[in-house]
Chain A
Amino acid sequence: MGQLKEVSCLNGHTDRVWNVSWNPTGTTLATCGGDKTVRLWGQEGDSWVCKTILQDNHQRTVRSTAWSPCGNLLATVSFDATVGIWDRRSGEFECNATLEGHENEVKSVAWAPSGKLLATCGRDKTVWIWEISEEDEFECASVLHAHTQDVKKVLWHPNLPILMSCSYDDTIKIHKEDGDDWTSFQTLESHTSTVWSIDFDSTGERMVSCSDDMTVKIWQAYQPGNKEGIQTTGKDATWKNLCTLSGYHSRTIYDVSWCKLTGLIATAGGDDKLCVFEEEVDSTGPTFVLSTAITRAHNEDVNSVEWNPKVTGLLASSSDSGDVKIWQYSV
C-alpha cells in the first residue's frame, strides 16, 4: 500500500480548472479553465507559485493545454473554437499563432513526439492534424471525421506515428498516415459510455482508458506474429482489452495518467476521488490493484490528473472547485 500526501494547494483560478499539464522537464505546471486563462506554476523554495498568467487570447473556457516536446511551445485549446500557440523563445510567452477550423468547442490537443505534428479534436466530431513547417507555420494535414460524436481527447503514441482519439461515441479510434492523408484503421469498443481520457505506459505497448461507465480499462498491443495468436492486419498491432478495473469510482472517471517512471496509474473522477493503482504480476498474468485513494481530494469533481515526468511520485490534479493540488506518492 502506498499513500498520497498533499504537498501544495494552488489557488488563483477563479472558475473550474479543466486541465493540468507538466512541461517535459517537470519544472512548470500549466493549468487552464473556465476563467479563460492559463496559469504557469513553478517551485520557489518549498512552495509552488504562479509565475505567469496567459490571458486575453481566448474568448471562452480554455479546455486543455499541451507542451511541445522541446518545451518551448505551449498549445492551448478553447471552447471559442480556436487553438493558440504560445512561444517562449523570445524570453516571455507570446501567442504567435491562432489555428482556426474547428466549428465549435475544441477539447484536447497533443504534440507528436517529433514536435512536427499537432492534433486537436472537439465537439464537431472531428480530429485535425496540423503539420509544422520549417518556417514554424501550421498547415492542416488532415481532418478526420471518424467518430460519430464529440471527441474528448487525442494522444500520440510515444514511438509510433499513430494517433489515438476517444469519444462520446464510447469508442477509441486509431489513426495513421496513408499517402497524403490520414485514415482511421482501428476502433476499440468495450466501454459502455463516453471514453474521457487515455494514456500510454512508458513502452507504448499498453494503454489505459477511463470512462463515464466508471471503469478503467487496460489495453495491450499485439504485434504481428504474436504468440497469443491474436489476428493482426498488415504491419499494425491489434489492440485488445487486457483487463478492466471497476468498483473504485462511483461517478464518471474524467482523467487517467500512467506514470512513465513508476508504472503507477492515477485516476480522477466526478466523485471527488483520486485513485492510484499498481501492477502485480502473478501466475495468471498482470493485475492492477488499488495502492491508495483520496476520497475527498478537492471537495468537487476532479477533472484532470497528471504524473510529473521527471520527479518520481509527484502528481498534479485540478477540480471544479478552482483549486489545483500537488501530491506526493510514497510507499
Chain B
Amino acid sequence: MPEHDVLVIGAGLAGQRAALAAAEKGVSVGIISKVHPVRSHSNAAQGGINAALDVDDSWESHAFDTIKGSDYLGDQDAIEVMCREAPEELLHLEHIGVTFHRNEKGELGTRAFGGASKARTYYVADITGQAIMHVLYEQLMKYSEQIDRYEEWFTTDLAIDEEGRCVGAVTRNIKDGTTEVFKAKSVILASGGNGQIWQPTTNALICTGDGIAMAYRAGATLMDMEMIQYHPTTLAGKGFLITEGARGEGAHLLNAKGERFMEKYAPNKMELASRDVVSRAEQTEINEGRGFPDGTVALDVTVVPRKRIHEALREIVLVGRDFAGVDITREPIHIKPGNHYTMGGVKTDIWGRTNVPGLYAAGEVACVSVHGGNRLGANSLLDTLIFGRRSGEDGAQHAKGHGFGQVSRTVLSDAEARVDAIIARKHEGGRRVSEIKAELGKTMDEKVAVFRDEEGIQSALEIVQRLKEEATSAYIDDRGTVFNQDVLGAIELQNMLENAEACCMAALERKESRGAQYRTDYPERNDEEWLKHIDVSMNGEGPEISYSPVTITDWQPQERTY
C-alpha cells in the first residue's frame, strides 16, 4: 500500500503545480494520472495567461474585469487572491524556464484578450498551456526524489474513513490491471473538467469529470454546475478550438453577409467581449439565418499580418490546414460556439479545501469560484496555477499536522468488485457504453447549451436519468487486465452521467440569465433572487440542491455591457 503525505490526483497544470508546491514544503508527494502527465488537457490552452504585471496595470483592474466577466457570480475574495498573486506566479514560471514571448526590449510582452480592459495576457505563441505544462513536468523530473509519479493509473474512488475524512484513494494500474489503495494525509483532486458530456466539445476524450464525480460520491459539495462555457470559435462538427488569441491579434467575426456583426452586440469591445456574449451573438446570427448553411459564422484571420500569424498563431494555422482544409492566412474559416469549459465543480475555499476534511480540489475540477457565470480567456491557466499551488501548500501543512487515517478494509475489495461486475455484464439486453455516451453528448449539446429553457433542460434531465439506469447494465468487450480501456470507459460513463445530472438540476434551478446560463424563458439577470450560488450534494442516493452566498468585497453588481 503506497503512502504519501500528499497525494495529487490528476497531473495537468493544477496537479503538477500542487505536487511541486507540496514537495517544496518538505513532505512526500505522489502524483497519479490516468494518462501520461504531458497528455493532460492543459495542453489545449492556447492563448495565454493573465497577470497584471505591467507597471501601468493593476491587480484591481484585473479583478474587476474578472468579476464583470463572471456576471458577478464570482467570489470576490477568491478573485482578489488570484489577481494579486498572478504576477509573482508568472515570474516564477519564467524563472523555471517557460519561453514566454518578449518585446523588443527583451522583457515579457503581452497580447490582448477578451473581456480585459488592458493587454495583460502573457503567452508562448499559441501553445501556452503546452509550453507551461512541459516545463512543470521538467520540474517534476528534477524533483523526482521528493515526488513519485504514477503515470497511467486510473483512480476509481476516494477512500473516506468513518469520520468522513479523506484518507486516500483507490487506483487501478492501467498497464497490468492491479488495484492499489494509496494512503495519504491530504488528497488533492486536480483531474480537470467534464466537457466530454457534450458532443462536440473542444475537450479531450479524457475530460470525463472523474474528480467531480468522485468527490460528489464522497460527500463533497458541487457548485455552479450549470455554468458551462461555450467558446465562440470552434470548428464546426469536430469541435476543435481556435484560440481567442486570433481575435486578440485582430481577427474579425463575419456573418454570411460579410458583416462584422459584433458591432450590434458589443460596440466597444467588438470581438473581444467576454465569451458568453460573443457566443450568444454568433448563435443569434446563426439562428436568425445570417450564418452559413453549415450552421456557422466566419473568423477572418487574414487581416492579421502574415508574419505575425506564423509567429503567434502557428498552431491554428495547422488546425485549419489539417482539420478543416483551410489556409487561415488566405481565407476566413467557419466556426461556431462549442462546449469548452466547466466553470463549476467541487466547491472549495481559497486554499482549495473542500467540505470533506483532508480533500482538496484545484483547477477545472474545482469551483473556488473565480469564474462565476463566465470565465475570461487566459484566466483558466492562472486559476490552475494559483489554486494548484495554494492547495499544495495547504495540503502539505495539513499533512504535517495529521497522521495517516484508517482505510477501511473493504475499500479495495469494493473497488475490485465494481470492476469485476462491469466485466461480467452480459451483452444480451444491455447497450454499448459508447452508444450511451453518444446519446448523452447529443442531448446535452441540444438542450443544455448556449440558449436554454425549462422544457429543454427538463427533457435533458429525464434522458440523463434514463441513461444512468441504462449505464448500470451497459456492456463492454474487453475482459483482460492489461490496458483494459474498455472497463475504464464504463467507469468514466458513470462519472459523466453524475456530472450531467448535477448540471441539469442546477440549470433547471437557476431561473434567470447570468453568464453562460441564458434562459430564453427568463432572459434577464435577477440579482434580487439569484445573486447566489447553487450547490449540489448527494443526499442518500440522489442529488440535493442548496444555496450559498456570493462573496462581495468591493465591487457591487452593475449592468454588464461590452
The answer to whether A and B interact is no
Name B residues whose Cβ lies closer than 8 Å to a Cβ of A: none
